[in-house]
Structure 1
C-alpha cells in the first residue's frame, strides 16, 4: 500500500511565486534578497494556514542559493526550526545562542525559524534580546506567530514585521482547482467554492477539507457530496425560504424550517446564514457592490435573479430582524420559537392587508339620523351632536304627546343596520314639523360617538395623528355654547382635591403607568392654568394623550371651563426615576457599590 501524503504537505509551495494570496509579502522578500536589503530579524504574523512557515523555508533556501547547488538541495544543515511552544525556557534560548556563534559549513547563512514565538516566557524573551538586536553576520532569525499582541514591545522593535492576511475565497478555490486537476479529480466549481468558504481564509484548512471530501466522494466531487459531508446548509434552502417570505406563505415557511431542523442543522446557524443571504441579495442590486459577492458564477446568476424580486427596504429590514434574532438566540429559553417568530416577521414585511384608506379630505362624521329624505347639506348640527333639519324648530309639548310619539316609534324598524346594533343612549327632544304644527321626535346622538371614534384611532402613524386632530376639532365644535359655560372661582386646595379624585379613578381603571406620571410631581395653579413639569419628553407625551379627559373632569368638578394645562419638560432637573435596565443598575450601584463587584465576578450581563 502506497504511503499517502496529505495535500497540505504534497503541494506546499517551493518557490515564492507558488505562494497563494500573499503577493505583496513575497514580492517584498524577493526584492530584498536581490537588492541585499534583507533584515537579520523578521517577524511573520497572521492567521493559521496562510503561509508563514512556508515563506520562512523558501526564504531560508533562497538566500543560500548561488546557482551552483544541486537540484533539490534543501540546505537542511543551515535551517534550524525551533518550536517555541515546547522550547520556551531560558536554557533553550541559551543553547540557541551558543549555536548561533558557529558559522555555516555550506552556504552563506544559518537561518533560525522560531515558530509560535509568543509562547516564550518573559525571561526567555529578555535573554534573547541582545542576540536578536546584534546577531552574527551569518545568522538570520525568522519569528512566526499567530498572536503578535503577546510579544513584548522590545522584541517587536528589533524585528521587521510582515503581516500575512487571510486568503480570499477566490484564490483558495483556484488553488483547489489546480490540486484537483493534478489529482485527476472531477470537481464542480460550486463544490470547491463551498470548501473555500468553509476554510475561512486558511489554505491549509482548505486542503485538509479537500482531502476529507475526496475520501468521501471519490473522484467525482459534487456540491451535494460536499454539503452532506461537511454538514453545510446549502444555499438552495435560503433561496427557497426567501421566495416563500416574499409570497407571505407563512405555513410553508414554518414547514421548511422544520425540515431544516430535522436534517440536524442548528437554528442559530440557519438565522446567521439567512442574514448573510439577504446581504448578498442586497449587494447584487447595485453594479458597484456586486464585486463583494463571493460566490460561483452559476450561483451569482441565481442571486441576481432573486434580487430583482426583492426591494431594498425588504432586505434592509430583513437583515435587521435576522440580526436581532441572532443576538437574542443565545439567551433565549425557547430558541425554536424565537427563530419562528423572526420568520413570521419577515413574512409579514411585504404583506398588504385589507386596510381602509382615507383621503386627506375625509373626516369622521356623526352617523345620520333617521330623517332619510332630507338633504344633509341643509341640516344643522345641534349642540349634542345630532343632525336636525333646519326646517324643524324645538317646541314644548305635553307629556301625553311625548308618550304617544314613543309608542308610535316603537313599531318602526331602524333603517340603518350599522347602528341598529349599537347600544347608544340618545337624548330625545321634541321638534315641531313645519306646515303641520304636529310635534315630531328627533333623536340627538350624544357626543360619545365622536369620543368613541377617537379611541379607535391609533397613534402609530402620521395619518392617525391627523385623524386625531380632526376628531379633536369635532369634539370642540360639539361642545355647548361657550357663553353658557360656568366659570366659577376655586382655590388651589379644591384643585388638589379634584386632582386626587381623578388619580383615584385612574388607579381604579388599572392605568398604573398614567397614575405614576400624574403623581410624579405636585401640580401648581396660576389663575386658571395648571402647570405640570416632567423630566423627559416621553412622560409629557403620555400625559398629553389623557389631557382632554383630565380637563373634562376638572372643568366639570370645579365648574370652571377656562381651566387649562401647561405641560413642560425640564431635562436639567435631577432624574429621580430609572426606566431602562442600565438606569436601574446604576441606581442600585449608587446604593451598594458591591453590586458592580458581583457583576464582574460572575460576568453578568445587564
Structure 2
C-alpha cells in the first residue's frame, strides 16, 4: 500500500509565489532579502493555517541560497525549529542561547523558528531579551504566534512584526481548484466554495476538509456530496426557508425547521446562518455591494433572483429579528420555542398592513347613532309587570309591526313604535296630552329591535327593551318631550344668558319623581346585587364585575354599606353608581335606597397570601423554620 501524504504537506508552498493570500507580506520579505534589509528578529502573527511557519521556512532557505546550491537544497542543518508549547522553561531558552553562539557550518545564517512563542513563561521571556536584542550576525530569530497580545511588550519592541491576514473565500476556493486539477478531480465550483467557507480563513483546514470529502465522493466532487459529508446547511436550505417566509407559510416553515433539527443541526447554527443569508440578500439589492457576496456565479444569480422578491424594509426587519434571536439563544430556557417564535415573526412581516388595520377593530359611527323608540304605556306596564312577575312569559307581550311609523320620520329605521293601536290612533293619543302619552326612550341602533320573526325572536327583543328601560333613571318616568335646542355660542354675554335661560327651562320641565317605598330584605338586596354583577359579565365588563363580587354589601335601614380595601376600587364603583342605583331602585321598588362606600385597608388582609408570604409569616413566629429549610435544602 502506497504511503498517502495529506494535501497540506504535499502542496506546502516552496516559494513566496506559492503562498496563498499573503502577497503583501511575501513581497515585503522578498524585497528585504534582495535589498539586504532583513531584520534579525521577526514576529509572524495571525490566525491558524494562514502560512506563518511556511513563510518562515521559505525565508530560511532564501537567505542561505546564493545560487551555487541545488534548487531543492533545504539547508536543514541551518534551520532550528523550537516548539515553545513544550519547551517553555528558562533552561530551554538557555540551551538555545548556547547554540546561537556557534556559527553555521554551511551557508551564512542560522535561523531559529520558535513556534507558539506566546507559550513561553515570563522567566523564559526575560532570559531571552538580551539575546533577542543583540544576536550574533549569523543568527536570525523568527517567532510565530496566534496570540500576539500574550507576548510581553519588551519582546514586541525588539521584533519586526508581520500580521498575517485570514485567507479569503475566493483565494481558498481558487487554490482548491488548482489542487483538484492537479489531482484529476472534477469539482463543482459551489462544492469548493462550501469547503472554503467551512475552513473559516485557514488554508490548512480547507485542505484537510478537501481530503476528507474526496475520500467520500471520489473523483466527482459535487455540492450535494460536500453538504452531506460536512453536514452543513448550504444556501439552498436557506433559500427554501426564505421562500416560505415570503409566502407566509408558517406551518410548512415550522415543519422545515423540525426537519433541520432532526438531521442533527443546532438551532443556533441555523438562526445565525439565516441572518447571514438575509445579509447576503441585502447585499444583492445594490450593484455597488454585490461584490461583497463571496459565492460562485451561478449561486450569485440565484441570490440576485431571490433578492428581487424582497423589499429593503423586509430584509432590515428580518436581519434585526434573526440577530436578536441569535443573541438571546444561549440564555433562553426554551431554545427551540425561541427560534420557532422568530420564524413566525419573520413570516408575519409581509402580511398586508391594511389587514392589520382592519375596520373590524374600529367601532363604526353608526353604532353611536341613537334612534327614538316609542313605547306605549300599556306595553310598558306589561314589561314592568313581567319584571316582577316571573309567571308572565315574555312571549305573551305583543310587539308592534316595525313598519308602523309617523310621518315625521324620514327613514323606517329612525323610529319604531311599540303599540297595539293603529297608526292613526297612535297619532291621536300622542296629540292628546291628557290621555295616555307614548314615552320615547333613546336606544342605540346596535340593539336591532325591530325584528319580529318568531316567538324566540320576540323574547330576545323584549329582553333587550327591558334592559333599555332598566337603564332609564327612576326619577324620569315621565319622559320629557323633545326640546328644540338652539346652537349658542359661548363667546358673548348674551350667549351666557341664553344658556341659563335654556337650563332653567329644562329644569322646570323635569317631571316629579315617582316615589316607591316597598319593603325588602338584605337577602333581596344581595340577590339583586349579584344579578347586576351577572349583567355586567354578559356585557363584557368583567373587571367591573369582579369588583362587585369582591365584597358582599350589608343593609342598615335603607343604606347599603360596602367596604373596599383601597381607593381605586371605590372610584371604579362610584363611576357605576348611577346605573347601579337605578337598577336596584327599580328591582327593589324603593327610591329611598342609598349607597355608602367605605375604604379600609385592613380588609386587604382577607386576601390569600402567596407561598413566600406564608413562609415569611411562619419564619417570624419560629426562626428555626429557616434553619430547617436550609438543612434539608427545601423549596418554598
**Which category describes the TM-score, using the shorter chain as reference length?**
0.5 to 0.7
Residue 12 of structure 1 aligns to a residue in which SS?
Answer: coil
Once the two structures are TM-superposed, the CA of residue 403 in structure 1 deviates from its matched residue by 4.0
Match of 1:411 among 399, 403, 419: 399
Structure 1 residues 58 and 483, CA, compared in 2 at 3 Å: closer, same or farther? farther
Q: How many Å separate the matches in 2 of 1:401 and 1:156?
A: 104
Residue 461 of structure 2 corresponds to residue 445 of structure 1: no
Question: Equivalent residues in 2 for 1:77-476 (5 A)?
Answer: 77-352=77-352, 354=355, 357=358, 364-368=365-369, 386-387=370-371, 403=381, 410-412=398-400, 437=431, 439-445=437-443
Asked whether the equivalents of residues 84 and 119 of structure 2 are also in contact (C-alpha less than 8 Å), the reply is: yes
Asked whether the equivalents of residues 376 and 439 of structure 2 are also in contact (C-alpha less than 8 Å), the reply is: no
Equivalent position of 1:64 in the other structure? 64
Q: Deviations over 1:308-363 (max 9, x none)?
A: 0111121111112222222222233332222222211111111237456569x997
Q: How many Å separate the matches in 1 of 2:19 and 2:72?
A: 18
Q: Deviations over 1:424-464 (max 9, x none)?
A: xxxx9xxx969961644433137999xxxxxxxxxxxxxxx
Once the two structures are TM-superposed, the CA of residue 216 in structure 1 deviates from its matched residue by 0.7
Structure 1 residues 181 and 356, CA, compared in 2 at 3 Å: closer, same or farther? closer
Q: Deviations over 1:406-441 (max 9, x none)?
A: 9999514779xxxxxxxxxxxx9xxx9699616444
Structure 1 residues 94 and 356, CA, compared in 2 at 3 Å: closer, same or farther? closer
Q: How many Å separate the matches in 1 of 2:402 and 2:256?
A: 53
Structure 1 residues 433 and 74, CA, compared in 2 at 3 Å: closer, same or farther? farther
Equivalent position of 1:591 in the other structure? none
Equivalent position of 1:469 in the other structure? none
Structure 1 residues 103 and 434, CA, compared in 2 at 3 Å: closer, same or farther? farther
May I ask how many residue pairs the two structures share in their alignment?
441
Q: Deviations over 1:478-499 (max 9, x none)?
A: xx9996899xxxxxxxxxxxxx
Residue 77 of structure 2 aligns to a residue in which SS?
Answer: helix
Residue 431 of structure 2 aligns to a residue in which SS?
Answer: coil
Asked whether the equivalents of residues 108 and 138 of structure 1 are also in contact (C-alpha less than 8 Å), the reply is: yes
Q: Deviations over 1:544-603 (max 9, x none)?
A: xx9x979968999xxxxxxxxxxxxxxxxxxxxxxxxxxxxxxxxxxxxxxxxxxxxxxx
Structure 1 residues 356 and 327, CA, compared in 2 at 3 Å: closer, same or farther? closer
Equivalent position of 2:41 in the other structure? 41
Asked whether the equivalents of residues 172 and 196 of structure 1 are also in contact (C-alpha less than 8 Å), the reply is: yes
Q: Deviations over 1:204-236 (max 9, x none)?
A: 000000001111111111111111111111221
Equivalent position of 1:569 in the other structure? none
Structure 1 residues 5 and 510, CA, compared in 2 at 3 Å: closer, same or farther? farther
Once the two structures are TM-superposed, the CA of residue 275 in structure 1 deviates from its matched residue by 1.1
Once the two structures are TM-superposed, the CA of residue 30 in structure 1 deviates from its matched residue by 1.2
Structure 1 residues 401 and 554, CA, compared in 2 at 3 Å: closer, same or farther? closer
* Normalised TM-score (structure 2): 0.62
Equivalent position of 1:379 in the other structure? none
Structure 1 residues 510 and 108, CA, compared in 2 at 3 Å: closer, same or farther? farther
Structure 1 residues 507 and 146, CA, compared in 2 at 3 Å: closer, same or farther? farther
**Structure whose CA Rg is larger:** 2
Q: How many Å separate the matches in 2 of 1:196 and 1:483?
A: 88
Question: Equivalent residues in 2 for 1:542-553 (5 A)?
Answer: none
Asked whether the equivalents of residues 40 and 140 of structure 2 are also in contact (C-alpha less than 8 Å), the reply is: yes
Asked whether the equivalents of residues 116 and 146 of structure 2 are also in contact (C-alpha less than 8 Å), the reply is: yes
Q: How many Å separate the matches in 2 of 1:189 and 1:510?
A: 74
Structure 1 residues 301 and 433, CA, compared in 2 at 3 Å: closer, same or farther? farther
Q: How many Å separate the matches in 2 of 1:268 and 1:510?
A: 49
Asked whether the equivalents of residues 190 and 296 of structure 1 are also in contact (C-alpha less than 8 Å), the reply is: yes
Q: How many Å separate the matches in 1 of 2:186 and 2:438?
A: 97
Q: How many Å separate the matches in 2 of 1:122 and 1:77?
A: 30
Q: How many Å separate the matches in 1 of 2:320 and 2:439?
A: 61
Once the two structures are TM-superposed, the CA of residue 192 in structure 1 deviates from its matched residue by 0.3
Structure 1 residues 413 and 20, CA, compared in 2 at 3 Å: closer, same or farther? farther
Residue 445 of structure 1 aligns to a residue in which SS?
Answer: strand
Asked whether the equivalents of residues 377 and 438 of structure 2 are also in contact (C-alpha less than 8 Å), the reply is: no
Asked whether the equivalents of residues 377 and 439 of structure 2 are also in contact (C-alpha less than 8 Å), the reply is: no
Residue 137 of structure 2 aligns to a residue in which SS?
Answer: coil
Q: How many Å separate the matches in 2 of 1:253 and 1:148?
A: 45
Q: How many Å separate the matches in 2 of 1:155 and 1:196?
A: 35
Q: How many Å separate the matches in 2 of 1:50 and 1:69?
A: 29
Residue 140 of structure 1 aligns to a residue in which SS?
Answer: strand
Residue 112 of structure 1 aligns to a residue in which SS?
Answer: strand
Please tell me the root mean square deviation across aligned C-alpha atoms, in Å: 3.9
Q: How many Å separate the matches in 2 of 1:69 and 1:229?
A: 46
Structure 1 residues 434 and 123, CA, compared in 2 at 3 Å: closer, same or farther? farther
Q: How many Å separate the matches in 2 of 1:412 and 1:555?
A: 31
Q: How many Å separate the matches in 2 of 1:510 and 1:101?
A: 98
Structure 1 residues 413 and 59, CA, compared in 2 at 3 Å: closer, same or farther? farther
Structure 1 residues 13 and 401, CA, compared in 2 at 3 Å: closer, same or farther? closer
Residue 23 of structure 2 corresponds to residue 23 of structure 1: yes
Q: Deviations over 1:155-193 (max 9, x none)?
A: 011111111111000000000000000000000000000
Q: How many Å separate the matches in 2 of 1:287 and 1:483?
A: 74
